[in-house]
Amino acid sequence: MSYKLENIPLDCPGTPDTGTSASAAIINPTREAWDEPVTARVILTFTLPDYRYLCRLVQPSGPVRYVYNCALREGSWGGRPITLTAPALGAPYAVMVLEKLMVLGARMVLALGWCGSLQSGLSIGDLVLPTTTVSTEGTSGHYPLDGQPPDPDPGLSGVLRRLLSTSDHRWQEGAVWSTDGFYRETVQQVAAYQSQGVLGVDMEMAALFTVGRFRQTPVAGLLVVSDELSTLQWNPGYRSEPFRRARDQAARLVLAAAAEWEGGHV
């Protein structure tokens, strides 16, 4: 037996997402009785090495907690309390964690991740500030934005941009392509996005920015170039010294941006 799903909408544009509307979610993120709050400032990462390096920097206190098997630790940077969490790899998982963090008290979220370069002028160890996204991941489409672009929060990105501009590290800003198919980044796709000037490819940023817009919570991100695809051949560099140095710099930059953020005056 086959089932026809093409006539079942993911959402009803123009209909408020309330408990009685057709587009209302049946399951919503909630704070359970056993959940402890997180700090207003949160840094979300996708790999354990990044998380562990951030932990070494902020010297967290207290026991490790978990949200959907993602570790949570609290520390401080620049006199500001900050929550670190990882590894939320891939758009669906990252968004589940993000939604939970928001109901636990996150008022801004900075994502630190890795990307593959699509452009010849962007090399392993460079940094990328995503300013817009192209999505072929499956999560973003479930969060209707009513015409808003799936871009990062401009204020939070502006803090990152200013810090990057005063650093001595190579960086670029521009569009990033987010995909679920790590092993299906095809020659055709890479060449097409490359010709459109898309800088790199990751797995989470488009979905995170979309949910940030949908939930009206500032979300932005910074990516470290870990591998290169611009020649249509894969050149991995995530074990290289240039990548490690760049990751260390990026971690300090997102911590500084989180500490300097004044959107919530907290």
pLDDT band at 5 (very low <50, low <70, confident <90, very high): very low
CATH number of the domain residue 121 falls in: 3.40.50.1580
192 alpha carbon, distance to own chain's centre: 23
Structure tokens at 81: 């309390």
3: pLDDT confidence band, cut at 50, 70 and 90? Answer: very low
Structural domain total, the chain: 1
Q: Is the residue at 51 inside a domain? A: yes
| 206 within domain boundaries | yes
Flag whether 12 is in a domain: no
Say what angle helices 205-215 and 91-103 make with each other, to 10 degrees.
30
Q: Residue 243 falls within a domain, yes or no?
A: yes
d(CA 7, CA 264): 42
Q: How confident is the model at residue 17 (pLDDT cuts 50, 70, 90)?
A: low
What pLDDT shows up at residue 9? Answer: 52
Predicted pLDDT at 19: 59
- pLDDT in the model for residue 149: 85
In a domain, 134, yes or no: yes
Compute, in degrees rounded to 10, the torsion defined by CA atoms 197, 174, 180, 108.
-170
H-type alpha helices, the chain = 48-58, 91-103, 154-165, 187-195, 205-215, 241-260
Is the pLDDT at 190 greater than 80? The verdict is yes
Q: Over the stretch 207-244, which tens digit does the pLDDT of each residue have?
A: 999 999 999 999 999 999 999 999 999 999 999 999 99
Domain extent at residue 219: 41-260
Q: CA 179, CA 168: separation in Å to the nearest integer?
A: 30
Rg of the chain's alpha carbons, rounded to an integer?
18
Helices 241-260 and 154-165 pack at an angle, to 10 degrees, of 130
209 occurs within a structural domain: yes
Compute the distance between CA of residue 43 and CA of residue 85 in angstroms, rounded to an integer: 6
Answer yes or no: is 9 within a domain. Answer: no
In angstroms, the CA 134 to CA 110 distance is 19
pLDDT at 55 over 90: yes
Q: Could you give the maximum distance between any two Cα atoms of the chain, in Å? A: 61
Find how far residue 216's CA is from the centre of its chain: 15
Encoded tokens for 64 = 């490790």
Q: Tell me the three state secondary structure of residue 256.
A: helix
Q: Model confidence over 158-170: pLDDT tens digits?
A: 999 999 999 999 9
- Residue 20 confidence class, pLDDT cut points 50, 70, 90: low
Q: Sign of the CA dihedral 138, 46, 255, 127?
A: negative
pLDDT in tens, 73-119: 999 999 999 999 999 999 999 999 999 999 999 999 999 999 999 99
Q: How many CB atoms lie within 10 A of CB 210?
A: 28
Q: Strand 70-77 and strand 61-67: pairing?
A: antiparallel
DSSP state of 54: H
Residue pair 157/149 in contact (Cβ under 8 Å)? The answer is: no
Render pLDDT for 139-182 as a digit per residue (tens, 0 to 9). 999 999 988 888 999 999 999 999 999 999 999 999 999 999 99
Q: Evaluate whether residue 194 is within a structural domain.
A: yes
CA angle 116, 121, 124 (to 5 degrees): 40
Q: Which residues contact 233 (CB under 8 A, 6 or more apart)?
A: none
